[in-house]
Structure 1
Amino acid sequence: MTSSRRRFRRPLFLGPSVAALLLAAAGCSSTDAAVPVTVPTPSGEAAPYCRALHKELPKTVAGLDRGDTGPKSELTAQWGDGAIVLRCGVPRPAKMDDPMAKGAEMDGVNWLVEQPEGAGPRFTTTYRKAYIEVSLSTAYAHDASPLAAFGPAITKTVPSSP
């Protein structure tokens, strides 16, 4: 005689307090947390220029408010929850050695233009004593106009180099 047993699973009931906690956690905004950004390690010459630039960066870019990066640093800044990210003191990109590399000039600042796979455009200053990188989200795939907001601060704080 064989007996077959059936296993029944009970529905999981969390209760009102646990459900409320889960709903509250789901409703938390990502604006409460700093945007994670890798902090560069600038040369001794570039670091003071980056600190000066940090103080001059605009409060808004392309209608987006400036926020904190994680970790908080004088070498990084972001606008619009990471839609625009600036890092100062980055290494010189190898792409600058490519004679076919794309470039752009915006408000007196020259930029190397790169399009990383699966990401928005990335721009790095050229002919400056510190390399400044600005990454834009894919929303700006065909719009480099946010770069214009950085021109005055860069020309004021980071001298040109030959």
Structure 2
Amino acid sequence: MARETRIPKALTAVPAPIRWLALPVALACAVVVLVGSWGSGDRDVEVPQPGGKAAEYCRALAAALPQVLLGHARKDPSPGSPYVAVWDSSPRTVMRCGIDRPEELNGPHAKDLSPTVDDLTWWSQKRDDGSYRLVATMRAAYVEVVSPPGVYSSPLDPAAALTPLVKANIPG
């Protein structure tokens, strides 16, 4: 006994070649959107513009930064800057050197958790997206590390890994 295939009335008005192409075209569009979004995230990193000694210290820190941070390869935004480093961890870990002093350090958030790693204090702030913003304080240049949610066992891990380099290149 042969089975009869029924096509919904709404689709019978659409010519067969268009019905056959609809799914492959939709899938191709989805792939294009996904691939296009992979590279677009680097454009939203604000590049600090430190001056004087802070700029010198940040360039020295940039030269000392690792190509791999806690198992994640470095993938800096284009065009490159000695004041920004990115490690591809999907979501990525971002370090910026020479940022302005965070305004939050003057307000009620000044007393937020500030863990100390090897005598370097990292002021921390949990952000709305679940990431943590960690800022090395009491240095000649402020260094910010954004630790993405769910990538590390502790949000402090990337800052802790960078502590020796920050201490060696940016005096307190």
TM range (shorter): 0.7 to 0.9
Corresponding residue number in structure 1 for 2:120: 109
Whole-angstrom CA distance in 1 between matches of 2:78 and 2:41: 5
The answer on whether the counterparts of 1:58 and 1:149 sit within 8 Å (CA) in structure 2 is no
Residues 60 and 31 (structure 1 numbering): CA distance in 2 closer, same or farther, change over 3 Å? farther
- Structure number with the bigger relative contact order (C-alpha 8 A, sep ≥ 6) is 1
Corresponding residue number in structure 2 for 1:10: 15
Residues 141 and 41 (structure 1 numbering): CA distance in 2 closer, same or farther, change over 3 Å? farther
Letter in 2 for 1:117: D
Corresponding residue number in structure 2 for 1:63: 71
Corresponding residue number in structure 2 for 1:151: 163
Whole-angstrom CA distance in 1 between matches of 2:103 and 2:156: 21
Corresponding residue number in structure 2 for 1:124: 135
How far apart are residue 123 of structure 1 and its match? Answer: 0.3
Residues 142 and 44 (structure 1 numbering): CA distance in 2 closer, same or farther, change over 3 Å? same
Larger deviation, residues 121-130 vs 22-31:
22-31
The answer on whether the counterparts of 1:121 and 1:136 sit within 8 Å (CA) in structure 2 is yes
The one of 51, 55, 60 aligned to 1:43: 51
Percent identity over the alignment?
30
SS at match of 1:128: coil
Whole-angstrom CA distance in 2 between matches of 1:94 and 1:141: 28
The answer on whether the counterparts of 1:83 and 1:137 sit within 8 Å (CA) in structure 2 is yes
SS at match of 2:135: strand
Whole-angstrom CA distance in 2 between matches of 1:90 and 1:124: 9
Larger deviation, residues 60-69 vs 49-58:
60-69
Residues 60 and 97 (structure 1 numbering): CA distance in 2 closer, same or farther, change over 3 Å? same
Letter in 1 for 2:128: E
Letter in 1 for 2:164: P
Corresponding residue number in structure 1 for 2:62: 54
Whole-angstrom CA distance in 1 between matches of 2:169 and 2:64: 8
How far apart are residue 67 of structure 1 and its match? Answer: 1.0
Whole-angstrom CA distance in 2 between matches of 1:108 and 1:55: 22
SS at match of 2:121: strand
Uncovered stretches (5+) of structure 2, i.e. residues with no partner: 1-12
| TM-score scaled by length of structure 2 | 0.72
How far apart are residue 75 of structure 1 and its match? Answer: 0.6
Corresponding residue number in structure 2 for 1:90: 99
The answer on whether the counterparts of 2:132 and 2:155 sit within 8 Å (CA) in structure 1 is no
Q: Does 1:76 align with 2:84?
A: yes
> CA RMSD, aligned part only?
3.2
